[in-house]
Amino acid sequence: MISVTETSAGEPLFHLRAGDASYVFSVFHGYLLHLYCGPAVGEDDLEYLLVRVGHDSVVPRPFDTSETWFSLDIAPQEIPAYGTGDYRPSALMIRHGAGGKLTPGSTAVSVRYLSHEILPGKPPIPGDIQPAVRANEDEADTLIVTAEDPASGVRFRLYYTAMRSLPVILRRTAVENASSAPLDLLRIASASLDFVSPVEPAELLHLWGTWGRERHTERTPLCHGTVSVSSRRGASSHHHNPFAALVSSRTDERSGPAVGISLIYSGNFEILADVDPFGSLRLSAGIDPTGFSWRLDPGEVFVSPEAVIAVSGEGLGKMSRALHRLFRDHLCRGKWAERSSPRPVPVNNWEATYFRFDADKLVSIAKEAADCGIDMLVMDDGWFGRRNDDRSSLGDWVVNEEKLPGGLKPLSDRIHGLGLKFGIWFEPEMISPDSDLYRAHPDWALHTEGRPLSVARNQYVIDMTRPDVRDWLFGAISAVLSSARIDYVKWDFNRNLTEAASLSLPEERQGEIFHRFVLGLYDLLGRVTAAFPDILFEGCSSGGGRFDPAMLYYSPQIWTSDDTDAMERLDIQLGTSFCYPPSSISCHVSASPNHQTGRETSFLTRGHVAMAGVFGYELDLTKLTAEEKELARKQAEESRRIWPLVRNGDFYRLILPSDTVNGKTGRCAAWMFVSEDRSEALVTFVSIRASIHPVYFLRLEGLDPDARYEIEETGEILSGSTLMNAGLNLTKNRRDGESVVIRLKKTPVREG
């Protein structure tokens, strides 16, 4: 619901109600002033929040006013612009070109309200191909504010969507060069909001990592000045994620304020939190401005990626669940993303064989898979060109007939003959220096003429900004996918961009390269997924180096990390769940000792941990013992049984490995799924390191307090309120790496 009233000065005041959250801003002398974002508030004139007692005399004002608080450097804003008196981090910076009214090269800009309209649903932005949330007329309302920079004539359209049943606001900005001179956009945040009465003391929770150690949570106290996380790698990256949450130091999973901000974007991003001397707090998310510029000739429009703002007054758990619902129900597309669609349980051959496989070896694994009730064999890297290690052939998307005689079809037929689906691996955005493709088209690699090109994993990056290159890639991928029955594609991306320039772009557009690369990727992914709608796509980037909402738009699941060690995965998977739904987090049971850490973990625990997301296997099934095979059979069946709970239920983080339990950290982890109707729940507890005298009464969440639940394993019956307040008894000596899964089912209340 979006309401518009008037301020005391007769200017519009917008109140966006999204679920049980409010987002309020108003117009003051044409400036868009942010008033509130948090748990729902009344339909009041919140302009009283703007009052400040005196302020810095050195701070300029755009005009003379009796409102002593009004200076752009102090006023909370919706789209703070550079160069006209707000010295805090700006959401917008423009370099004006020659031929207009303004000094060529000058960068000041101002954003002033002109008009607004409110539409039901969420209309697409014409001409835009970027991934975005979809919502119909019953699910959301959209406010579009049109504004301009009066001096240059540049126009802005600010899009705000309020989801009706989720505490989520979506924001995007479109910049139209309605002036007569070219301009360069130097900075454009997708969302920026100033908290005039911020939670204190405030912290920024964000997800950091590296290869094999993705998305660990960190909470950083905010200070006067700026705290930021970003990627300048050409991908959303292992190192930081385009997600952060503004919290109070007292916020935990169940209580306290949290405002999550997530950017639906796969490229360079920046999320920052800035605290000014008056305690105002600016939170913003957008394309990272380092090296970025975008030329807009008169009449051209630039549309920012979409930002998601998720609000909770009841802790981080509620914020995450809102994001989970938004992404899985309103962002992921295609038949595999649907609520009722099962996902196949795969066995991937990467950790089973690496590059050393042939058709017979794959079929031997597939036979065991069929015997265990596994649904799909995925053939990973190494099936094309002369790719027997990672030193060649990316770009030569032609089957290696020494490994797979007769091409993909005979192998696919043999796999399907066993009753399994068949998937393959691709890394389309890359080119090996040792490849026929590179020898034929050296200019197809992204590079700067006259400068040596850095290699990473022996490969270069393809110039995805070029339509001709993308057309070629579409043809090459389509030819492979049409050559046999293929049910699944793992779309990998194994290095970051360097020396990024394109021979196809003029000098003034080289600053567009990183964003154009991402737009090129979206274009190609859009075409391939549309041409092959029955194929399940899984995103991947050296593990989870591009785990972001934009990739989820094309692939409803993403490979989470190349670290498949179950104990390491606890931090990675639970960290990922702060923003991303478990139904997108791809988790495989791999061999023990684990290939990355050497740690030994039981088959049972590896299964329990992998069932926290999209379940599968990544080991040589021909090497399993009879006992392990029996367990694999049960696990595959169980994972299919619980899939509706994982896909549609609510996820609760109960204990993080970093939590202190019984006076110690790093000892255990626990989480649970609860079905939408609260009739069913699945609790997982993992003992990371054994403790002497352990006492665990695990307080559950999300149950119906008045209902009675049967604990399937023991037959014991307890009420929801007891399980949530007194806790589930898990007190038992458990060894390192031992785990337990507990299933709860609502039982009818007995009469009498």
Instruction: Give the Cα-Cα-Cα angle 682, 582, 322 (nearest 5 degrees).
Output: 100
Longest dimension (CA), the chain: 87
Distances (CA, A) of 105 to 95, 102, 151: 5, 9, 14
Q: Which is nearer to ligand GLA, 176 or 492 (CB)?
A: 492
Q: Which is nearer to ligand GLA, 559 or 615 (CB)?
A: 559
Distances (CA, A) of 617 to 363, 420, 741: 15, 14, 19
Please tell me whether residue 381 binds ligand GLA under the rule CB under 6 A: yes
Of the listed pieces 12-20, 303-311, 537-545, 584-592, which binds ligand GLA according to CB under 6 A? 537-545
Least distance CB 118 / ligand GLA (angstroms): 45
Please tell me whether residue 286 binds ligand GLA under the rule CB under 6 A: no
Instruction: Give the Cα-Cα-Cα angle 53, 57, 59 (nearest 5 degrees).
Output: 100
Q: Which is nearer to ligand GLA, 386 or 509 (CB)?
A: 386
Least distance CB 564 / ligand GLA (angstroms): 9
Q: Which is nearer to ligand GLA, 551 or 742 (CB)?
A: 551
Please tell me whether residue 496 binds ligand GLA under the rule CB under 6 A: no
Of the listed pieces 6-14, 229-237, 539-547, 691-699, which binds ligand GLA according to CB under 6 A? 539-547
Least distance CB 350 / ligand GLA (angstroms): 5
Q: Is 204 helix (H, G, I), strand (E, B) or coil?
A: strand
> Which residue from 326, 383, 394, 395 is spatially nearest to 357, judged by alpha carbons?
383
Please tell me whether residue 438 binds ligand GLA under the rule CB under 6 A: no
Judged by CB under 6 A, which of 262, 432, 542, 577 binds ligand GLA?
Answer: 542
Q: Which is nearer to ligand GLA, 350 or 651 (CB)?
A: 350
Of the listed pieces 223-231, 333-341, 393-401, 535-543, which binds ligand GLA according to CB under 6 A? 535-543
Bridge partners of residue 258, in order along the sequence: 247, 312
Please tell me whether residue 568 binds ligand GLA under the rule CB under 6 A: no
Judged by CB under 6 A, which of 90, 304, 494, 576 binds ligand GLA?
Answer: 494
Bridge partners of residue 285, in order along the sequence: 191, 271
Least distance CB 544 / ligand GLA (angstroms): 8
Q: Which is nearer to ligand GLA, 14 or 425 (CB)?
A: 425
Q: Which is nearer to ligand GLA, 231 or 494 (CB)?
A: 494
Binders of ligand GLA among residues 546 to 565 (CB under 6 A) are 559, 562
Assigned token pair, 618: 């990544």
Binders of ligand GLA among residues 297 to 356 (CB under 6 A) are 350
Least distance CB 308 / ligand GLA (angstroms): 26
Crossing angle for the helix pair 626-648 and 359-372, nearest 10 degrees? Answer: 70
* Strand 183-195 to 202-208 pairing: unpaired
Chain residue whose CB lies nearest ligand GLA: 381
Please tell me whether residue 492 binds ligand GLA under the rule CB under 6 A: yes
Q: Draw the binding track, 505-524, toward ligand GLA (x: CB under 6 A; -: no contact).
A: --------------------
> Which residue from 186, 176, 165, 48 is spatially nearest to 106, judged by alpha carbons?
186
Helix residue spans in 395-466 (DSSP H):
408-417, 436-440
Q: Which is nearer to ligand GLA, 397 or 425 (CB)?
A: 425
Is there a cis peptide before residue 201, judged by omega within 30 degrees of 0? yes
Please tell me whether residue 543 binds ligand GLA under the rule CB under 6 A: yes
Contact present, 93 and 175 (Cβ < 8 Å): no
Least distance CB 545 / ligand GLA (angstroms): 8
Bridge partners of residue 295, in order along the sequence: 184
Assigned token pair, 125: 């932005």
Least distance CB 490 / ligand GLA (angstroms): 6
Query: What residue type is assigned to position 626 of the chain?
Result: A
Candidate list 492, 548, 563, 565, residue with the active-site label:
492
Least distance CB 587 / ligand GLA (angstroms): 13
Distance between CA 291 and CA 434 in Å, rounded? 30
Q: Is 207 helix (H, G, I), strand (E, B) or coil?
A: strand
Distance between CA 271 and CA 17 in Å, rounded? 24
Least distance CB 576 / ligand GLA (angstroms): 15
Please tell me whether residue 385 binds ligand GLA under the rule CB under 6 A: no
Please tell me whether residue 540 binds ligand GLA under the rule CB under 6 A: yes
Least distance CB 494 / ligand GLA (angstroms): 5
Binders of ligand GLA among residues 412 to 431 (CB under 6 A) are 425
Judged by CB under 6 A, which of 47, 78, 380, 538 binds ligand GLA?
Answer: 380
Q: Which is nearer to ligand GLA, 73 or 381 (CB)?
A: 381
Of the listed pieces 6-14, 145-153, 244-252, 536-544, which binds ligand GLA according to CB under 6 A? 536-544
Count the neighbouring beta carbons within 10 Å of the beta carbon of residue 178.
Answer: 17
Binders of ligand GLA among residues 207 to 246 (CB under 6 A) are none
Q: Which is nearer to ligand GLA, 90 or 584 (CB)?
A: 584
Tell me which DSSP letter residue 596 carries. Answer: T
Instruction: Give the Cα-Cα-Cα angle 332, 446, 231 (nearest 5 degrees).
Output: 50
Candidate list 562, 563, 565, 650, residue with the active-site label:
562
> Which residue from 259, 254, 143 is spatially nearest to 198, judged by alpha carbons?
259
Count the neighbouring beta carbons within 10 Å of the beta carbon of residue 448.
Answer: 14
CA atoms within a 13 Å half-sphere pointing along the CA-CB vector of 94:
32
Q: Which is nearer to ligand GLA, 152 or 348 (CB)?
A: 348
Count the neighbouring beta carbons within 10 Å of the beta carbon of residue 391.
Answer: 14
Distances (CA, A) of 579 to 260, 262, 549: 8, 8, 9
Count the neighbouring beta carbons within 10 Å of the beta carbon of residue 273.
Answer: 26
Number of residues that bind ligand GLA (CB under 6 A): 11
Of the listed pieces 99-107, 503-511, 528-536, 538-546, which binds ligand GLA according to CB under 6 A? 538-546
Residue 688: partners with Cβ closer than 8 Å, 6 or more residues away: 567, 570, 657, 666, 667, 668, 669, 736, 737
Please tell me whether residue 432 binds ligand GLA under the rule CB under 6 A: no
Least distance CB 427 / ligand GLA (angstroms): 7
Distance between CA 157 and CA 176 in Å, rounded? 8
Burial class (CB in 10 A: 0-12, 13-18, 19+), 277: exposed
**Ramachandran area for residue 402 (φ above 0: left; ψ -120 to 50: alpha; else beta):** alpha
For the CA atoms of 58, 60, 66, 69, the dihedral, rounded to the nearest 10 degrees, stands at: -70
Q: Which is nearer to ligand GLA, 491 or 696 (CB)?
A: 491
Q: Which is nearer to ligand GLA, 375 or 381 (CB)?
A: 381
* Strand 225-231 to 269-275 pairing: antiparallel
Please tell me whether residue 538 binds ligand GLA under the rule CB under 6 A: no
Please tell me whether residue 368 binds ligand GLA under the rule CB under 6 A: no
* Strand 488-491 to 421-426 pairing: parallel
Of the listed pieces 220-228, 498-506, 540-548, 728-736, which binds ligand GLA according to CB under 6 A? 540-548
> Which residue from 455, 451, 454, 462 is spatially nearest to 426, judged by alpha carbons?
462
Known catalytic residue at 562: yes
Distance between CA 738 and CA 340 in Å, rounded? 32
Please tell me whether residue 701 binds ligand GLA under the rule CB under 6 A: no
How big is the chain, counted in residues? 752
Least distance CB 462 / ligand GLA (angstroms): 16
Least distance CB 1 / ligand GLA (angstroms): 44
Known catalytic residue at 492: yes
State the residues that interact with ligand GLA by CB under 6 A. Answer: 350, 380-381, 425, 492, 494, 540, 542-543, 559, 562
Report the catalytic residues: 492, 562
